[in-house]
A and B are shown apart, each in its own frame.
Chain A
Amino acid sequence: MDTNVLNINGLTKNYKKFSLGPLDLQIEKGTAVAIVGANGSGKSTLFRLLMNVLQPEAGSIEWFGQNLLRKETEIKGEVGYVGDMLEPFGHLKIKELAALVSHWFPSWDEKYYSQLIKRYQVDEEVKFGKSSKGTKKKVELVLAMSHRPSVLLLDEPSAGLDISSQRKMKEDLISFMEDGEKSIILATHNVEEVKQICDFITILRDGKEVCTFMKDDIYDNWGRIWVEKFPQGLKNNPNIIAYEENPPQIVTNNIREMEDLLQTEQVRIINMQRVNLEEVIEYFVDTEQ
């Protein structure tokens, strides 16, 4: 049985100065995936393709095992999307916006909506356009969650949020994932969010997927090893993620295997240290390969 909520195959979108893909990505039910990348790496473009707001040049998107183009309405009913789309409705009060959105979701939970509005201290009588950047994000998040979706597709949901709202949002996202049936796809620049919410991390750079890895894998298997001399024969070893020759050091995604290998190669290990998530993300996001 296919347990993926999302299957992306060969997804490509071309612009004059930027191309996304070809991207292949699978997201399992019950997992939270962070899409991380520098500004302009293609995160928002990917999300818009996933919502069919942009048309791909090639490739296919399947949500819940169904083709997005064929079952678009049903799929969108199951996805809560935050992606800065409400700006053209700035002349509406927040409660009017909620009425406009809720009409299209049979699963809309009015009680839950009221709870969230209260929890995030949003004044429904204020016009959306007159709200602060943080409030706008809160409104988007509340609208995305109030129809009880199976998947949340969140494009930088905490940008501009105050500390207290960021904490509440993290709590709500963690509680959203609790039953193991729901999934989150989160584009973010906030490492704390990745640490606390996500299971997998996909790195995008210049529209291409650089790698996808399990967050826990970083803590269990990744490490930095300082050696007496960098063994040139290991340069192309698949477990070496990065190396520097001065001072000689290796970043590996399999510290135990690398330790054995260095011993076999009779390279003296000076020091070993686990790497943290920030380092790994920063490395993949910033380094040209």
Chain B
Amino acid sequence: MQQAFWLARKELKYNWVGLLFTILMTIFFATLSATLLEQAARHLFGSDVTFYNKVLIDIMFVAMTPCLGAIFMSRPYLNFETVKEDPFSKRMAFYRTLPIPVATLGLSRTLFSLITLGILSIVFYGTIAIFASFTLYQYISPVEFIIFIFVWFGYALALSGINPFIEYGTNGKMLHLSPLFILAIFVIVLLSFYSYVGYGIVEWVLLLIRDYGWMIAFISFLIGISGCYLWSKLLTVRLKKRDYM
């Protein structure tokens, strides 16, 4: 654990520029989300009729929050040469030549993703809290807002493990193709959800929080921890079995 943490910290140090740009982009997304969340709360709990884009807010939370586990504004994500160069695999190939147990490598990637998720989530939800503070609290209480954060953090925790898995368990081609697959799945899930439930996903979560309170956060967190554990195990197995070059 200590060695995995050491490696995760080193990696974070090597990627500080990418992290900085990712933080800036996260702030941008958060300001947008703050406005949308406020509109969603007013639409659900306010007395006046509000029209807003529920698809956009669902994109922000359902698709965006799991990405907070990756430094998505770093070179490999922004450069299509990654398809050919496959820098994540090459980096891991080097680590595999060192006397580092594969479990330590897998854990270090998970820790790296968790630290990134932690930092970016603080930035994301902190920015939302600052930008939406006054108006949002007219419709949802501060406690409900905290539960809302925990629910989405749990969700992100469950899915963000896919980031290190794609980075180090697949190749450069998959790194750029996987968002397309995920987007397709996301569209299907979203459309099915709208037609069966009748609400947007974020709207539905807000309603669940009002009805069940901390229980929803607890369930989400539990799923998050299980998902994180599962992805970490999958990554370790994959690192053991794959070709790196």
Interfacial residues, chain A to chain B (CB-CB below 8 A): 48, 51-55, 72-77, 81, 83, 85-89, 91-92, 100-101, 103-105
- Find out whether the CB atom of B14 lies under 8 angstroms from the CB atom of A53: no
Enumerate chain A residues within 8 angstroms of B100, measured Cβ to Cβ. 73, 104
Name the 7 nearest CB pairs between A and B, nearest first: A77-B99, A76-B99, A88-B91, A85-B94, A88-B90, A104-B98, A73-B99
Cross-interface CB contact of B99 among A48, A86, A89, A104, cutoff 8 Å: A104
- Find out whether the CB atom of B245 lies under 8 angstroms from the CB atom of A48: yes
Cross-interface CB contact of A54 among B91, B98, B245, cutoff 8 Å: B245
Cross-interface CB contact of B91 among A53, A81, A89, A104, cutoff 8 Å: A89
A88-B90, A100-B10 given; A54·B97 CB < 8 A: no
CA distance A104 to B96 in the complex (A): 12
Q: Nearest residue in A to B100 (C-beta to C-beta)?
A: A104
- Find out whether the CB atom of B242 lies under 8 angstroms from the CB atom of A81: no
- Nearest Cβ in chain A — how far from B173, in angstroms? 16
- Find out whether the CB atom of B97 lies under 8 angstroms from the CB atom of A76: yes
B84 at interface, CB cutoff 8 A = no
Cross-interface CB contact of A83 among B6, B91, B97, B242, cutoff 8 Å: B97
- Find out whether the CB atom of A55 lies under 8 angstroms from the CB atom of B94: no
Enumerate chain B residues within 8 angstroms of A104, measured Cβ to Cβ. 98-100
Enumerate chain A residues within 8 angstroms of B243, measured Cβ to Cβ. 53-55
Q: Nearest residue in A to B104 (C-beta to C-beta)?
A: A73
- Find out whether the CB atom of A53 lies under 8 angstroms from the CB atom of B99: no
Q: In the complex, given contacts A86-B94, A89-B91, what are 11 additional A-B residue pairs having Cβ atoms less than 8 angstroms apart? A: A51-B96, A51-B97, A55-B241, A72-B101, A74-B99, A85-B94, A87-B90, A88-B87, A89-B94, A91-B14, A92-B14
- Find out whether the CB atom of B99 lies under 8 angstroms from the CB atom of A85: no
Enumerate chain A residues within 8 angstroms of B90, measured Cβ to Cβ. 85, 87-88
- Nearest Cβ in chain B — how far from A108, in angstroms? 11
17 A-B pairs with C-beta separation under 8 A: A51-B96, A51-B97, A52-B96, A53-B93, A53-B97, A53-B244, A53-B245, A54-B244, A55-B241, A73-B99, A85-B97, A86-B94, A87-B90, A88-B90, A91-B14, A104-B99, A105-B98
CA distance A86 to B91 in the complex (A): 8
Number of A-B contacts (CB under 8 A): 52
Enumerate chain A residues within 8 angstroms of B93, measured Cβ to Cβ. 53, 85
- Nearest Cβ in chain A — how far from B106, in angstroms? 14
Enumerate chain B residues within 8 angstroms of A83, measured Cβ to Cβ. 97
- Nearest Cβ in chain B — how far from A106, in angstroms? 9
B102 at interface, CB cutoff 8 A = yes
CA distance A87 to B87 in the complex (A): 9
For chain B, the bracket of interface size reads 20 to 34
Interface residues of B in 206-245 (CB under 8 A from A): 241-245
- Nearest Cβ in chain B — how far from A187, in angstroms? 15
CA distance A54 to B101 in the complex (A): 16
Q: Nearest residue in B to A55 (C-beta to C-beta)?
A: B243
- Find out whether the CB atom of A88 lies under 8 angstroms from the CB atom of B94: yes
Which of A48, A72, A88 has most B Cβ within 10 Å? A88
CA distance A86 to B243 in the complex (A): 17
CA distance A103 to B2 in the complex (A): 12
CA distance A52 to B96 in the complex (A): 7
Enumerate chain B residues within 8 angstroms of A73, measured Cβ to Cβ. 99-101
Enumerate chain A residues within 8 angstroms of B241, measured Cβ to Cβ. 55
CA distance A72 to B102 in the complex (A): 9
Q: Nearest residue in B to A45 (C-beta to C-beta)?
A: B245
Enumerate chain B residues within 8 angstroms of A76, measured Cβ to Cβ. 97-99
Which of B93, B94, B242 has most A Cβ within 10 Å? B94
Enumerate chain B residues within 8 angstroms of A75, measured Cβ to Cβ. 99
Enumerate chain B residues within 8 angstroms of A88, measured Cβ to Cβ. 87, 90-91, 94
Q: Nearest residue in B to A69 (C-beta to C-beta)?
A: B240
CA distance A226 to B93 in the complex (A): 52
CA distance A37 to B239 in the complex (A): 30
- Nearest Cβ in chain A — how far from B102, in angstroms? 7
- Find out whether the CB atom of A103 lies under 8 angstroms from the CB atom of B6: yes
- Nearest Cβ in chain A — how far from B237, in angstroms? 13
Enumerate chain B residues within 8 angstroms of A87, measured Cβ to Cβ. 90
Enumerate chain B residues within 8 angstroms of A89, measured Cβ to Cβ. 91, 94
Enumerate chain A residues within 8 angstroms of B6, measured Cβ to Cβ. 103
CA distance A81 to B242 in the complex (A): 20
CA distance A224 to B204 in the complex (A): 87
A89-B91, A103-B6 given; A81·B97 CB < 8 A: yes
Q: Nearest residue in A to B75 (C-beta to C-beta)?
A: A91
